[in-house]
Chain A
């Protein structure tokens, strides 16, 4: 560490970076100290609520961020249509749940299928939501990105933005502009949950929140195992490292890329269904904000790095819910706080929190 420091020469640029970083750090610390030292604005119950809200949102950001990171790792392009892939997953899940709530349950005609067999209904909903999104991701790559494989890096990026606008407007024309609401099974009804006593108050830990959080952690573990332990994961890593060398070793690069898009689409679709179940309301616009936030999370954690995307999502979710409260600022500027911290992180670690050393090709 010290040797490394000795080797670094202090260029004006580095000095400027350090000055900005130190100024921001001092300001942030000063605010945190000021807010926490002054009269207690928020009780422990409120802090717990902030924490829960941040973790749930962070889990969903993380799932979507993995999609950005997987695609970036392999193609070095930002798939800006990823939020729209999530949106179509949300729609698919919605139509599944609507269908389940109209057909009668087995045996008992009084109760609809959704409430008679909530577990099966939910599993099928997630499979369809993730499946549709995976298919959309797959087709997106086939139609919008594959023909541009050899083009300069800016071209597929523009194609991605175009695909995003296309999918958003296509969904509006197909499904209409009105907002729709997920019909959850009674078991997972929004606004219900465990009551946790904190001091003389109680904090609600919603069923949907816990469900989303646990499911996103499970999916992330699954993905981790897939990438580290399976043959597909190995070939994905090989393609990410060097496409030509991987092809020479007998790996079908095109098929690996297609499968990467399938996986990232499926994760986005699952996140979309979770979003619907936890938040309820959505329309064709639902993928836009999570898409941008998840991209930010991926950059924060180190784009191209899977654990980085997970960490980045969680950190961003927590910063958004805890940041304004810690700094004693209005919640309206939570994005300003989140992005200030992003800049701060990138000044110290340009490749993100867990970023790898970039190969020549990626730079």
Chain B
């Protein structure tokens, strides 16, 4: 009996060991092409067999990679070209992350790929916080097949991630991070498609004062980097123009009753109220507008409040509200994308956030940049990282949202904000004539 057991045990050990051996062989094989780069440099004798055959070709390719500041990303055949993303996929702001990651994935899926390599989005959850933004960035830089970053999504989380991508040479293109400071820090890798809060705030203040003729406004915000930043710009600009800000109040986002702060603003008797923040809170505010004594006072929102959700959920209460937006005018390409989006996902394009179209453009801009620098040698795709950083910064592209052309600090939205107004429950371009 004992001998039987020993035999069985031996058999099992043998099988396990042979399995291990096969695995290690496989690992060796896949690792080889990555190792060659260093191997050739030092010209170690062990690898002669493989290296000798490919040496002349490899040298030409290596020059590009060696000269590149950050080296090359090497993607073996069978792997995908990965684009990373840090987005709020869970939690209170998950609709932004869900929408943006869906639109970028769709752009990547709709592309035919490059020389047989296809694209894949690696979206990691940040919850929108700076801490998680840095953690996600640290995670993504360790993946050698991630070549570019679509994002991050919120300004705070992006701010925390920029230095990490800067060190690793991963170009970023954010469809939605709008805090003005982000491009002022001399980062080579950060670019964005969103117009800045400073641009938007200035246009909003000028529209309120010059075009709409208001002299007394209230300013409200949600206390976030984005919302309060925007509100502060509007307040400063409006006062610069000669207007009076009669009330300035912050709310605590996520709560569902803003009657008290709204009443405090109403007590200042403003002609219009500017709000810097997101649709979730703007909808609740609109529905409590009359209750707080703000009946007949114009609501002026930002691109965070724009969207189908606002009109759907405020109904008649939201009539007349103004907001800024990235949403492009209708075009055949936009219609085609909207149909593809609706066919792929349970929601319509633009239903979860207003960044759907700029996210799609982000995906396409990154694809175009990658394809302008990538090349194939043998069965490996090489993407010189430093060259890609430059290629993204030199983007000159016409997307759904119009001309995308980056300036020297990475501001890529060349069309600026458009203002929309709710008329009969629909967002229509603001008509100043009426």
Q: Are A and B part of the same complex? A: yes
Q: What residues of chain A lie closer than 8 Å to B98, measured between beta carbons?
A: 177
Choice from B92, B249, B251, B292 contacting A285 with Cβ under 8 Å: B92
Number of B interface residues, CB 8 Å? 41
Q: Are B249 and A330 in contact (CB under 8 A)?
A: yes
Q: Are B263 and A50 in contact (CB under 8 A)?
A: yes
Judge if B402 is at the interface, Cβ distance under 8 Å.
Answer: no
Judge if A91 is at the interface, Cβ distance under 8 Å.
Answer: no
Choice from A57, A176, A177, A191 contacting B287 with Cβ under 8 Å: A191
Q: What residues of chain A lie closer than 8 Å to B352, measured between beta carbons?
A: 177-178
Q: What residues of chain A lie closer than 8 Å to B290, measured between beta carbons?
A: 191, 204
Tell me the nearest residue of chain B to A293, going by C-beta. B255
Within the complex, what minimum Cβ distance (angstroms) separates A151 from chain B? 29
Q: What residues of chain A lie closer than 8 Å to B380, measured between beta carbons?
A: none
- Chain A 246-290 interface mask (CB, 8 Å, partner B; 1/0): 000000000000000000000000000001001111110110110
Tell me the nearest residue of chain B to A178, going by C-beta. B95
Judge if A56 is at the interface, Cβ distance under 8 Å.
Answer: yes
Which residues in window 34-80 of B have CB below 8 A to A? none
Q: Are A179 and B267 in contact (CB under 8 A)?
A: no
Judge if A325 is at the interface, Cβ distance under 8 Å.
Answer: yes
Q: What residues of chain A lie closer than 8 Å to B293, measured between beta carbons?
A: 45-46, 49, 201, 203-204
Q: Are A331 and B257 in contact (CB under 8 A)?
A: no
Q: What residues of chain A lie closer than 8 Å to B259, measured between beta carbons?
A: 49, 52-53, 321
Choice from B95, B284, B346 contacting A279 with Cβ under 8 Å: B284
Q: What residues of chain B lie closer than 8 Å to A141, measured between beta carbons?
A: none
Which residues in window 216-253 of B have CB below 8 A to A? 223, 248-252
Q: What residues of chain A lie closer than 8 Å to B313, measured between beta carbons?
A: 179, 181, 280-281
Q: Are B254 and A177 in contact (CB under 8 A)?
A: no
Q: Are A177 and B252 in contact (CB under 8 A)?
A: no
Q: What residues of chain B lie closer than 8 Å to A178, measured between beta carbons?
A: 95, 309, 347, 351-352
Judge if A8 is at the interface, Cβ distance under 8 Å.
Answer: no
Q: Are A320 and B288 in contact (CB under 8 A)?
A: no
Q: Are B260 and A331 in contact (CB under 8 A)?
A: yes
Q: Are B260 and A49 in contact (CB under 8 A)?
A: yes
Within the complex, what minimum Cβ distance (angstroms) separates B293 from chain A? 7
Q: Are A172 and B264 in contact (CB under 8 A)?
A: no
Within the complex, what minimum Cβ distance (angstroms) separates A263 from chain B? 25
Within the complex, what minimum Cβ distance (angstroms) separates A248 from chain B? 47
Q: List 17 A-B contacts (CB under 8 A).
A: A43-B267, A46-B264, A46-B266, A49-B260, A49-B291, A50-B260, A50-B263, A53-B260, A178-B351, A190-B287, A191-B288, A275-B256, A279-B256, A280-B256, A281-B287, A330-B248, A331-B260
Chain B residues with a Cβ under 8 A of chain A:
90-92, 94-95, 98, 223, 248-252, 254-257, 259-261, 263-264, 266-267, 280, 283-284, 287-293, 309, 312-313, 317, 346-347, 351-352
Besides A46-B266, A190-B287, A279-B256, 20 more A-B contacts (Cβ < 8 Å) are: A42-B263, A49-B260, A53-B263, A172-B94, A178-B309, A179-B309, A181-B312, A204-B291, A206-B291, A279-B257, A280-B256, A281-B256, A281-B287, A282-B256, A285-B91, A320-B260, A321-B259, A325-B260, A332-B250, A334-B252
